[in-house]
Chain A
Amino acid sequence: MGVVLRNLQKIVPIRRARLRRDVNTLRHILGIQKFDLGVICVDNRRIQQINHIYRKKNMPTDVLSFPFYEDLRPGKLPCTLHRDELNLGDIFLGVEFVMKRCQEESVDLHDALTIVTAHGICHLLGYRHETEEEWTEMLQKESYISSEYSRLTGRQLEPLMRRHEDG
């Protein structure tokens, strides 16, 4: 399987090949190549709907994660033997929301999507940011991902600072 990519919106032009390549780089960095992952691009309307249903927040956001394993200790990969369980879950990318922010901050859309996806994958791996401690742990992981990403691709990823408020 690998990465199941879906583009369910028409507002933001998505370069599928680039998004897939970036997600694969992130999987490589995190050592999760053998796990399946769903990445679904949606517009504000759709992500707001999902945010409302699952988090009772009736507003659009940048990313929502639906982990296959719900109680992972941060960074500990599940020990699975069965093929069907080699799945981390799905990430909904609010690409319209991310694009708006990219326009405000003059950031490349696909670079921003990479960061947002990294954040989403961290959630799939059990990272949270409900407490200060958790947040620090997650931020450290994200900085590690960014630096590895730069080392591998030569591209710098600037973290989106306001993003830990939602997610």
Chain B
Amino acid sequence: YSIMLKSLVRAVGAAVRLSSAPSAAARALPLSCPTNRSPGSVASRPFTRSLWMLNSNGAPSGYRPKLFSSKVLSPSVSCGCGGLHTEGDKAFGNFLSDEIKEEKKIQKNKTLPKMSGGWELEMNGTEAKLTRHLSGEKVTVTFNVNNSIPPSFEEEEEAQQQQKPAEEEPEIVSTPNFVVEVTKQNGKHTLVFDCHFPEDEMSHGEGEEESDIFAIREVSFQPEGDSEWKETSYTLNTDSLDWALYDHLMDFLADRGIDNTFTDELMELSTAIEHQEYIKFLEDLQSFVKCN
């Protein structure tokens, strides 16, 4: 039964992750890798060989195949800035402006979603910090949206998706690792929880049972207000932990507002920030390429 059950649980899990976000997945280039990978490598073999034949066929000196002509490398557009501008740059710029338009179209909201429970959001680049004061205690949750989108799309899923219409492509969800810090009033130390969303790792494993929505990876004390991470502090690893202790740690976090509801909202917030930062990056890239 257990195999049947696992596949059920995984199927249910996958169904949750699939939702309609037209062309949302189109931007994640790694997604389309498998399609390019195998046919690409097959196609490139005869291509390189024909090139080799061209070169070794005793072409008269002075003759160079058009492919090698220097024209491609020379700037063809000039704006007077002294920088290099190529046809490629121009195509790149046009591509980016289309991409930005598309991404803005699917952006759900210009403003970031609010976390319930009185959390205050502070941004520093791609790093977000949520703070909440709770009768003498300060709780902060920090996460970085960089590298927060798991490449959790399995081959079989991809194969299925290719046959499905575009609107059934999976929605991109950001599931960042996050650090919870709890500081007591007048406390010298901060209790630090290193947390993560285990789903991405689990979905690759064969026959793994479904994991909790979020999990604690490590717990340690760090000096209060110190941004330097002290490696010399004892670090409790939850891999081989007494489960009762683990449950108490989870209950401790739940009492401070870090529960499944919170982490669900955190995913939503992180996804929105990630998307916002992505669009910002595309705009920066566009103006860099265009040189204006």
Contact = CB atoms under 8 A, between A and B. Distances in A.
Interface of A: 2-10, 13, 15-17, 19-21, 38, 40, 46, 49-50, 53, 66-68, 70, 89-90
Given A6-B211, A10-B264, A68 B2 contact: yes
Contacts of B243: 2-3, 5, 20
A8 B247 CA distance: 14
Given A16-B251, A21-B244, A38 B1 contact: no
Given A7-B213, A46-B12, 19 more contacts: A4-B209, A6-B210, A7-B260, A8-B210, A8-B212, A10-B213, A10-B259, A10-B264, A15-B251, A15-B254, A19-B247, A20-B243, A21-B244, A53-B8, A66-B2, A68-B1, A68-B2, A89-B1, A90-B2
A38 B243 CA distance: 13
Contacts, number: 56
Interface in B238-292: 243-244, 247-248, 250-251, 254, 259-261, 264
B214 to A, nearest CB: 10
A16 B261 CA distance: 15
B5 A10 contact: no
Given A53-B8, A70-B1, A89-B1, A20 B213 contact: no
B129 to A, nearest CB: 23
B36 to A, nearest CB: 36
Nearest to B247: A16
Main secondary structure of the interface of A (DSSP, over half): mixed
A24 to B, nearest CB: 8
B196 to A, nearest CB: 16
Interface of B: 1-2, 5, 8, 12, 209-213, 243-244, 247-248, 250-251, 254, 259-261, 264
Nearest to A70: B1
A154 to B, nearest CB: 20
Contacts of B209: 4, 6, 38
B2 to A, nearest CB: 7
Contacts of A70: 1
Given A10-B264, A46-B12, A68-B1, A17 B210 contact: no
A89 B2 CA distance: 8
A4 B8 CA distance: 18
Contacts of A67: 1
List the 4 closest pairs (A to B, CB-CB), nearest first. Answer: A10-B260, A16-B247, A17-B247, A10-B261
A53 to B, nearest CB: 6
Contacts of A13: 254, 259
Nearest to A38: B209
Contacts of A16: 247-248, 250-251
A40 B264 CA distance: 18
Contact of B247 (A5, A49, A50): A5
Contact of A17 (B211, B248, B259, B261): B248
B29 to A, nearest CB: 32
